[in-house]
Structure 1
Amino acid sequence: MRSLQPLLASLSARLRRRASRQLMGRAGAACLLGLALCASPIARADTVAEYRLKAAFLFNFASFTEWPDSLGDTLTVCVHGEDPFGASLDGIAGKPIGKRTTAVRRTLSADGLNGCDVVFVTQPVISNLPRIFDQLAQRPVLVVADSPGATQRGVMLNMETSGGKVSFAANLSAARRHGLNLSARLLSLATEVIQ
C-alpha cells in the first residue's frame, strides 16, 4: 500500500486542482476533495463516486502492469459497452504511464477493440467475453471488469464493491497468457489472486 501512496497523492492533488478550476461551489469541491483523500487501494464507494474511484483504479492497474516494449507511445484505455464512467475516465487521457501517454476510447462493438491496450468490459456486455477474447486473440491487452465471477472467466482484474468499499481480484495466469505481468505490489493488494 505504501508504494501506491505517491500515485494517490498525485491523484489527490490533481482532483483538488480540477475542483477549484471547475468552480463547482464549496459543496461540490468538498465532495471531490473528500473523494481524493479517500482514494486508496481499498476505498469507500457510493453511487455517485463509485466510477470516479474505478477510473483511478484503471489508471493504477495500467501503471502497475509491465507492458511489452513493442507497444508504442500511446496506451489506449477502451470502455466496451455502455460507458459508466462518463467524464471521470476522460481525466486520465493524456496522463503518462511510464514512457507512454494515455488515451481513452469507447466502443459498443467487439470489432472496435482493435488498438486497445486496456479494455474495461461493462456489466451489461460481460456475457460477450468469449467474443471479446476472440477479437483480442493473444495480444497484450489488459482486460478489466466489475462483474461477479469475471476473474474465473478470464478477466485479468475484476473490481468488486462490497460493504461500501471497492477492492479487486486478479487473474495472474490470464495476464501472463496475454504477455502481461502484473506488479507484485499490485497483486499484494488483491483480495484474491488466481495463479
Structure 2
Amino acid sequence: MNWLGYCRVGVLVPSLLWVALVGGLLLLAPNAQADDFPEYRLKVAFLYNFSLFTEWPAEVGPTLQFCLQGTDPFGRDLDALQGKPVGARSLQVQRKAGNDSLKGCHIVFIAASALERLPRVLDEVRGLPVLLVADSPGAAGQGVMLNLSVAQNNKISFEANLLAARTAHLQLSSKLLRLATEVIQ
C-alpha cells in the first residue's frame, strides 16, 4: 500500500482523526522515518482528507477537479491523488499556469508563488462550489477556506474560514473544524 493509502480517515472515529491526519501517517507506515514524509507529501495527505471531509453539492457531479495554481511545490506526490475516491466521486489533478482559467475546478490549491493572484482567483470562483486551499500566512483571512501551516513543533496545522466555505455552498465537516487551529466564522 502506498503512503496515501494510510491517509484515508473517513472510517476512523473523530478522536482518531488528528492521529490519522498527522501522526498516524508515521505510526501506520511500516518502518517509516520522519524523513520519509516531507512537508509537501504530508500536505497532499491533508488535501485529500480535506476533500473527504467537505460536503459537495450534487451539481458537482462524479469528478472533483483538483487544480494547482502557481509553481508546483508537491512534485510527483500530488499525482498520487489522481483517481482517488472521494465518496462516490473521484479526484482528477490539473496543474494550471498563472493565467489559466479555473473553470471546472472544485478544489484549488493556491501555491505561495500565486498568492498575488488571490483576488483574481476569488473573483473567478465567487459563488461556485470551489474549495480554496493555500499554505500562506493570512490566506484564510483573505478568503481561502483552508490554510495550511507548519507549527513551531514541525506539525502541520490549518485554519478554516467557515464563512468563505458557506459562501461557496460547501459544508466543512465538524470533525474537520474541530482540528483547525482557528475557525473564522
Alignment TM-score > 0.5, same fold: yes
Contact 2:67 2:93 in 1 (8 A): yes
Q: Distance in 1 between matches of 2:42 and 2:17?
A: 14
1:168 is the counterpart of 2:158 = yes
For structure 1, the residue ranges without an aligned partner over 5 or more in a row are 17-28, 36-45
Contact 1:160 1:166 in 2 (8 A): yes
Amino acid at match of 2:175: R
Q: How does 1:26-175 map to 2 (within 5 A)?
A: 30=31, 33-34=32-33, 49-163=38-152, 164-175=154-165
Q: Distance in 1 between matches of 2:17 and 2:90?
A: 19
Q: Distance in 2 between matches of 1:138 and 1:57?
A: 24
Structure 1 residues 138-147 or 157-166, which shifts more? 157-166
**Corresponding residue pairs, total:** 168
Q: Distance in 2 between matches of 1:186 and 1:105?
A: 25
Amino acid at match of 1:106: R
Q: Distance in 1 between matches of 2:172 and 2:55?
A: 6
Amino acid at match of 1:168: F
Contact 1:110 1:131 in 2 (8 A): no
2:17 corresponding residue in structure 1 = 4
Change (3 A) 1:154 1:87: same
Q: How does the TM-score come out when normalised to structure 1?
A: 0.78
Instruction: Give the drift of 1:167.
Output: 0.2
Contact 1:157 1:168 in 2 (8 A): yes
Instruction: Give the drift of 1:5.
Output: 7.2
- SS of equivalent to 1:103: strand
Q: Distance in 2 between matches of 1:142 and 1:110?
A: 19
Contact 1:79 1:121 in 2 (8 A): yes
Amino acid at match of 1:55: V
1:185 is the counterpart of 2:175 = yes
Change (3 A) 1:5 1:194: closer
1:42 corresponding residue in structure 2 = none
For structure 2, the residue ranges without an aligned partner over 5 or more in a row are 1-13
- The ranges of structure 1 where at least 4 consecutive aligned residues each deviate by more than 2 angstroms after the TM superposition are 1-8, 109-112
Q: How does the TM-score come out when normalised to structure 2?
A: 0.82
